[in-house]
Amino acid sequence: MQTRSSESAPGQTVQKNHRILVINPNGNTQVNVLIQSAARRVLEADTVVTVKNPLDSPLSIEGPKDRRDAEPLAIQLLENNPGYDAYMMACFDDIAIDAGRSFLDVPVIACVEAALIAARFQARRFTIITTVETMVPGIQKLLERFELHRQCTVRAIGVGVAATADGSSHISERINGCIRAARSDDGAKAIILGSAGLCGRARELSILHRLPVIDSIEAALIQTETYSRTQAFSAHPRHLSSHQCDQACDET
């Protein structure tokens, strides 16, 4: 499996204390650029972010077949890259999340969960804006799993991930139309941008529509950083000797 990766710290001072690996499960390297830009916007200077994606994965994940093709490659990237303080899956899905959590001793953050947590802090009703209609059923199933299907609706702009990542002007018109419909028809008081291809648009949309707009990539990055810092001050039981475990128990 071929991979492409990039690494940067959001600021000038680089310390190796907090290292995050972000897996972009599709084959579109333009999405990697969007993720790195988001990291520079929202993370601390001493957090080092590495973004990797499998080049032989589908260019966009827009349906069940794409998901089936992409997930084993994403899991393989997690398996082949141990040693980070936390991991993040940059896809508005649960691709590789359960698998990653089964063998990694540190947090594995999903964009869906991170964005839903952020939305619940700000509104009782909200809407997820995704790319294509084929993504809607999968997101609705996740909402049912998290018992949020009565609070949250899902709308698609009808444009694929690759096109949204390119930032074409007509994409904004479609997003604005979906947000207006979510407010008027769904009663949404907050919006989640449910695709990595929509990353970087939240602030402008929030100002335009005068309601909270949550960038799922930014929300996940912030949560991943928080948990990476928690890991720096703790040790997982698997990493302790039996004597150290006994000693820790005695101290408590």
Q: Which two tokens stand for residue 5?
A: 């990766």
Q: What is the DSSP track for 60-119? A: S--SHHHHHHHHHHHHHHHHH----SEEEE-SSS-TTHHHHHHH-SS-EEEHHHHHHHHH
Confidence of residue 240 (pLDDT cuts 50, 70, 90): very low
The arithmetic mean of pLDDT across residues 72-84, rounded, is: 96
Higher pLDDT, 250 or 46: 46
**Half-sphere exposure of 101 toward its Cβ, with a 13 Å CA cutoff?**
10
Q: What pLDDT shows up at residue 12? A: 46
- Provide CB contacts within 8 A for 19, sequence distance 6+: 47, 48, 50, 83, 84, 85, 228
Q: What pLDDT shows up at residue 9? A: 59
Q: Which two tokens stand for residue 157?
A: 């702009």
Residues 66 and 5: their CA atoms lie apart, in Å, by 21
Does residue 161 surpass a pLDDT of 50? Answer: yes
Confidence of residue 242 (pLDDT cuts 50, 70, 90): very low
Q: How do residues 12-59 score in pLDDT, each as one tens digit?
A: 444 456 899 999 999 999 999 999 999 999 999 999 999 999 989 999
Does residue 74 surpass a pLDDT of 90? Answer: yes
CATH number among 3.40.190.10, 3.90.25.10, 3.40.50.1860, 1.10.10.10, domain 3-111+218-243: 3.40.50.1860
Start-end of CATH 3.40.50.12500 domains in the chain: 113-215
Q: Among candidates 78, 118, 81, which has minimal Cα distance to 95?
A: 78
User: First vs last Cα of the chain: how many Å apart?
Assistant: 46
The size of the chain, in residues, is: 252
Does residue 250 surpass a pLDDT of 90? Answer: no
Q: What pLDDT shows up at residue 14? A: 44
Q: How do residues 109-139 score in pLDDT, each as one tens digit?
A: 999 999 999 999 999 999 999 999 999 999 9
Q: What pLDDT shows up at residue 217? A: 98
113-215 architecture in CATH?
3-Layer(aba) Sandwich (3.40)
Q: What pLDDT shows up at residue 244? A: 38
Q: What pLDDT shows up at residue 6? A: 60
Confidence of residue 249 (pLDDT cuts 50, 70, 90): very low
Confidence of residue 247 (pLDDT cuts 50, 70, 90): very low
Does residue 248 surpass a pLDDT of 70? Answer: no
Q: What pLDDT shows up at residue 229? A: 85
Across the chain, how many H-helices and E-strands are there? 10, 9
Q: What pLDDT shows up at residue 166? A: 73
Residues 100 and 121: their CA atoms lie apart, in Å, by 27
Does residue 2 surpass a pLDDT of 90? Answer: no
Q: How do residues 178-187 score in pLDDT, each as one tens digit?
A: 999 999 999 9
Residues 25 and 10: their CA atoms lie apart, in Å, by 22
- Say what the pTM is: 0.85
Q: Give the three-state DSSP class for 56.
A: coil
Residues 151 and 128: their CA atoms lie apart, in Å, by 11
Confidence of residue 167 (pLDDT cuts 50, 70, 90): low
